Structure 1
Amino acid sequence: MSRKSHTVLLVPGIFDRGTSLLKMQRILSEAGYNTHYIHLRYNSGWHGMEHLSAQLMAKMENILKGEETCTLIGFSMGGIVARYYLQAMSGIDKVHKFISIASPHHGSYWANFLPYKGGKQLRVGSDFLKSLNKSIHLLEQTQPVSIWTKYDITIMPHSSAQLGIGVSYEVPVILHRLMPMSTKVISLMKNEVITGME
């Protein structure tokens, strides 16, 4: 039988080695959560989401013991990396709470400027995202949350950052890269982490 742990794993976005998540990590750690973030290689997404999700799986196996489950939080591309792990790599039973922050669940036009595997996977209408979204119902057991802003010019269209299931929060943050550092976003995220433990 699975047991909810106070472990939280943060997954950074594209071109981000995790520095944008340091404030979030500090606040969760101060609240008593065993909080980690992963350095994805290569964080451009060059080799595709599958390559990055395999790294996430290895990290999960390293930080969780036995039947423990954790909270998984993905920022931007990190939310898609997390989803592939959850939905396609049997990670769903290791996570009791999934939170995405400004992730392109239905693709982003910005990804058209990334002419390699990972970029193509993140485009609007990609076969990769279509496949993920066909099995989106699998995420229901993780009490999914999506946090997004209508001012985001990286995730276009803005509606792409909404999962379409679970809880969705719109926040007035003016830039994509500021989302994981926003006091409002962190407050919402922290409350959801606590709710997920109940």
Structure 2
Amino acid sequence: MSYKSHTVLLIPGIFDRGSSLLRMQRALAEEGFDAHYIHLRYNSGWHGMEHLSSQLMAKIEKLVKKETTCTLVGFSMGGIVARYYLQAMSGINRVHKFISIASPHYGSYWAHFLPYKGGKQLRVGSEFLRGLNQSVRVLEATEPVSIWTKYDVTIMPHSSAKLEIGTSYEVPVILHRLMPMSSKVISLLKKEVITGMG
């Protein structure tokens, strides 16, 4: 039997070194959670999501005690990195709550400007995302949450950031990069992380 730990791993988005997650990290720490943001190399996604998910797995093995589970929060590409770990690397057994923030679950037209492996994986209709979405029900064990905004011009179409399962919240944030810093998003995040401990 596994126990729910107070460890929360924050996974940054593409080209993001994690600074956008600092406010979120502080807010979770104030609630008594042990929050860490994960430095991914190389966070352009150059080597693909598998490479980044392997790094996430190594961090979880290091930070989360055996027989316990954690919460994963992925911003933008970080949500897809988390999903590959959960769905394709048996990570589902180490995580009790998964929250994505403005993640391109069904791809983004913007990714067509990234002509390398990770960019191709994040495109609308990519074989990589089709595979994840065919097995999306695996995520039900984590009571998944997706937080998105219709004003996002990075995740196009906007509906791509809304998972077809679990709970979703639409928030009135005007820019993609401001999502993890939004007080509304952080409030929802805290509520869901705390509820996930129940």
TM-score normalised by L of structure 2: 1.00
Distance 2:55 2:62 in 1: 11
The offset of 1:8, in angstroms, is 0.3
Q: Distance in 2 between matches of 1:70 and 1:163?
A: 20
Q: 2:152 is matched by which residue type in structure 1?
A: D
Aligned to 2:20: 20
Instruction: Return the alpha-carbon distance in structure 1 between the equivalents of residues 191 and 30 of structure 2.
Output: 14
2:93 matched residue in structure 1: 93
2:7 aligned counterpart, secondary structure? strand
1:7 aligns with 7
Equivalent residue runs for 1:124-163 within 5 Å: 124-163=124-163
> SS of 1:180's equivalent?
helix
Aligned residue-pair number: 198
Letter paired with 2:26:
R
Query: What is the deviation of 1:155?
Result: 0.1
State the Cα deviation string for residues 86-134 of structure 1 (Å, max 9, x = none): 0000000100000000000000000000000000000000000000000
Match of 1:52 in 2: 52
Deviation at 1:180, TM superposition (A): 0.1
Matches within 5 A, 1:104-119: 104-119=104-119
Question: What one-letter code is carried by the residue in structure 1 that aligns with 2:16?
Answer: D
- TM-score, normalised to structure 1, is 1.00
Q: Aligned AA for 1:31?
A: E
Residue 173 of structure 2 is matched in structure 1 by: 173
In structure 2, how many angstroms separate the alpha carbons of the residues matched to 1:158 and 1:57? 29
- 2:124 partner amino acid: V
Equivalent position SS for 1:84: helix
Asked whether 1:66 is paired with 2:85, we answer no
- Using the TM superposition, give the Cα deviation of residue 72 of structure 1 relative to its aligned residue in structure 2, in angstroms: 0.3
Supply the AA of the counterpart residue of 1:11.
I
Deviation at residue 80 of structure 1 after TM alignment: 0.1
Shift, 1:30, TM fit: 1.1
Partner of 2:81: 81
1:194 maps to which residue? 194
Give, in angstroms, the shift of residue 31 of structure 1: 0.9
Match of 2:123 in 1: 123
**What is the rounded CA distance, in whole Å, between the counterparts of 1:179 and 1:37 in structure 2?**
16
Secondary structure of the 2:151 match is coil
**Corresponding residue SS for 1:74:** strand
Name structure 1 gaps, 5 residues minimum: none
Q: Secondary structure at the match of 1:97?
A: strand
Identity %: 80
| Cα RMSD after superposing both structures | 0.3
Q: Secondary structure at the match of 1:107?
A: coil
- Where 1:138 maps in the other structure, the secondary structure is helix
